Amino acid sequence: MAPEAAVQSDKNNDVPRLENLTLSQRAHTFLRDEILSNRLPPGTELQEVALSQQLGVSRGPIREALGRLAAEGLVTVRPRRGAVVHSLSSGEFLEAYQVREALEVLAVRLAVPRLGPEGLAELQTVTDTMAAQAASGHVTEFFEANSLFHETFVQLSGNEKLQEVYRRLIGQMRRYWRRSLVLRGDLRRSVSEHRAILRAAREGDAEKAAVLMAEHIRVPQARLQSMTADELLEAEASFDRKVSE
């Protein structure tokens, strides 16, 4: 199965030429990027005419793109009342975290026995950059490196269906990276947890690595459950203050 929305691309080119793409594909990836990068934050209304003018195409391709995004969970379309960028309540966020935990534990179990020296090196590199970003207080870059660590495990699992499901889920959660970081708390602890997972993986102890990963992902879950909505908002606000310093 092709990685993105079951649309086969050319065998020769991993990244198909722009001119060969259909307009609805271009609209799809454009909107997808806009949403995932938070340039279109949750709750934004997506009007077909405005989008079609912005992209210079008619409404047809836009509608197809919106429909696909809806099926991916990035957009909510209310029949006859327009589409909006889908938003996650804190409850849904917690639910997604639980599913993510299950998927990543599977990824670790599958990946560790298959791990070669290249895979281990890759994980090591990612962990090191993550530690560096944490030390210098670059929270955004830290988050990116952190995400990459987890995604690398999923990739190294060799299970493409798992990758597909995982990426879809992450796509829904990624936009709330601020919330994730707030819940995560201490960056250094996070780094040392990653180091422990990597150590277990290097020893070939899949079960231990899986347990450590599960506990690692459960940290933000636990904090989220012990917080009220107001406390979460306050924490996010103070996070913003700290970052903008």
Partner DNA sequence: CGGCTGGTAACTGTTAACAATCCGCGCGCG
Partner DNA sequence: CGCGCGCGGATTGTTAACAGTTACCAGCCG
Candidate segments 43-51, 154-162, 217-225, 231-239, binder of DNA by CB under 7 A: 43-51
Q: Taking CB within 5 to 8 Å according to partner kind, which of DNA, a copy of itself, none is near residue 236?
A: none
Query: What are the CA-CA distances from residue 17 to residues 1, 22, 27, 60, 217 (Å)?
Result: 20, 10, 15, 22, 38
Q: Which of 33, 45, 95, 231 binds a copy of itself (CB under 8 A)?
A: 95
Q: Which of 37, 58, 98, 136 binds DNA (CB under 7 A)?
A: 58
| Spatial distance between the Cα atoms of 158 and 232, rounded to a whole number of angstroms | 37
Q: Which of 1, 37, 43, 50 binds DNA (CB under 7 A)?
A: 50
Q: Taking CB within 5 to 8 Å according to partner kind, which of DNA, a copy of itself, none is near residue 23?
A: DNA
Query: What are the CA-CA distances from residue 158 to residues 46, 152, 163 (Å)?
Result: 37, 10, 8
DSSP notation for 48-116: HHHHHHHHTS-HHHHHHHHHHHHHHTSEEE-TTS-EEE----HHHHHHHHHHHHHHHHHHHHHHHHH--
User: Within positions 131 to 160, which residues make up the interface with a copy of itself, using CB under 8 A?
Assistant: 159-160
Candidate segments 33-41, 101-109, 120-128, 129-137, binder of a copy of itself by CB under 8 A: 101-109
Residue 243 binding DNA, by CB under 7 A = no
Contact 221, 94 (CB under 8 A): yes
Partners of residue 46 on adjacent β-strands:
83
Q: Which residues would be at the binding site for a copy of itself (CB under 8 A)? A: 1-2, 5-8, 21-22, 24-25, 60, 63-64, 67-73, 75-80, 86, 92, 95-96, 98-99, 101-103, 105-106, 110, 159-162, 164-165, 169
